[in-house]
């Protein structure tokens, strides 16, 4: 699979693990609940670590661990919930997170520009054929009226 990161289409080397899956070699992402329950074991993992969050999760619940996390995945369950936009903004502005923030799940392609404005720098659409479309949406506007994190 591929994704968009920093306005380029690249291969995705991350594995998204289910809560009941065994740890796999390489770079892995886990849910926030698994992170909280299995943190010591995950920190001993040989590879980069990422956390998947949903709109109901709170950034403050893992903010103290951001120096150990290379990826935060924003898992959009549907089009109508905008709390993950706020989570991305908080990660960048309040907590100074410099790692990858990736949108996954059911976000709309025309939201990618606005997601990038609040700090999302990677996008993983459900289908690879959406990659060029979403890449194009990142360049929709050349002038911004409001200050943001990017």
Stronger pLDDT, 44 or 143, i.e. the higher one: 44
Stronger pLDDT, 50 or 113, i.e. the higher one: 50
Tell which CATH classification among 3.40.50.10540, 3.40.50.10190, 3.20.20.70, 2.60.40.1180 matches the domain 2-137.
Answer: 3.20.20.70
Q: How confident is the model at residue 74 (pLDDT cuts 50, 70, 90)?
A: very high
**Residue 147 predicted with pLDDT over 70:** no
Say which range, 9-23, 48-62, 73-87, has the weakest mean pLDDT: 73-87
Q: What is the mean pLDDT of residues 76-97?
A: 91
pTM for the predicted model, two decimal places? 0.91
Which residue pairs, CB below 8 angstroms and at least 24 apart, start in 34-38? 35/62, 35/65, 36/61, 36/62
Q: Locate 2 and state its tokens.
A: 């591929």
The domain limits of the chain are 2-137
């Amino acid at each position: 699979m591929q994704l968009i990161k920093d306005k380029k289409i690249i291969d995705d080397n991350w594995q998204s693990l289910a809560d009941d899956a065994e740890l796999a070699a390489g770079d892995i992402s886990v849910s926030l609940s698994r992170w909280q329950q299995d943190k010591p074991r995950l920190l001993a993992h040989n590879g980069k670590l990422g956390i998947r969050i949903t709109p109901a999760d709170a950034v403050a619940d893992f903010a103290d661990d951001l120096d150990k996390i290379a990826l935060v995945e924003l898992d959009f369950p549907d089009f109508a919930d905008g709390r993950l936009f706020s989570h991305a903004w908080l990660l960048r502005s309040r907590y100074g997170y410099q790692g990858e923030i990736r949108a996954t799940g059911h976000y709309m392609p025309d939201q990618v520009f606005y997601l990038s404005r609040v700090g999302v720098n990677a996008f993983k659409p459900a289908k690879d054929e959406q990659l060029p479309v979403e890449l194009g949406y990142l360049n929709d506007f050349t002038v911004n009226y409001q200050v943001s994190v990017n």
